[in-house]
Amino acid sequence: LLVFRQPDLGTAIVLTVIWLGAILVSGVKPLHMGIIFLIGILLIGGVLQFNVLKDYQKNRLLVFINPDLDIKNTGYNLLQSKIAIGSGGFFGKGLFSGSQTNLSFLPAANTDFIFSVLSEKMGFLGAFFLIVLYFILLSRAVQIALTSDNYYGSLLALSIASMWLFQIFVNIGMTIGIMPITGIPLPFISYGGSALLTNMVAAGILLNVHSRSIK
């Protein structure tokens, strides 16, 4: 709630997903899950009813539904992102080429829309390779969780996997228009000290859980 009031809706959602991932794998009863789901619906309804969201947050949701609604601001970001991804083609334009990124048409190129930059410069092939790497990372995290002989370690590993999966899906999804634009970074790729530090700590925790399982 404190993070949400900051306001930082993206981080608040990430923390919620981590919490949900932990309780889902902890063997919670279906009745309790139903109660949590009902509370979630009521909270969402309250947020919409009492105008808890800031104007820019509402605008992002509206632009997600209709990108042409704010073509000079939030809609512009999405438009330039799609152009960058589409213009990359299969092999990309090269690491030092690309009109959308090199000419600064694409806002937040090193943070929120880093996937668009990669797609323009390295094409479908580079984007696909990155997704494969993420798949290997997530698969390994789940494997560590399933093979851990420590219950708490399993919860930690699956929570980290949930966090990474959500961040990857939302960040890539918003660059191609299937998710609302948020400030959620792409793990290990987006520029930002705190995000990178958090992901490195999470990776360290995973390795620690794995090492304890080997002993």
pLDDT tens-digit series, residues 68-110 = 777 777 778 888 899 999 999 999 898 888 888 888 888 888 8
Calculate what percentage of the chain has a pLDDT beyond 70: 84
5 pLDDT above the threshold of 60:
no
Give the tens place of pLDDT for each residue, 194-213.
889 999 999 999 999 998 87
Q: Could you please report the per-residue DSSP string of 117-132?
A: HHHHHHHHHHHHHHHH
> Helix 193-214 and helix 151-176: axis angle, to 10°?
140
Residue 156: other Cβ atoms inside 10 A:
20
**184, 167 in Cβ contact below 8 A?**
yes
Give the tens place of pLDDT for each residue, 137-176.
999 999 999 898 888 888 899 989 989 998 999 999 999 9
Cis ω on the peptide bond leading into residue 187 (within 30° of 0)? no
Chain mean pLDDT for the chain:
83
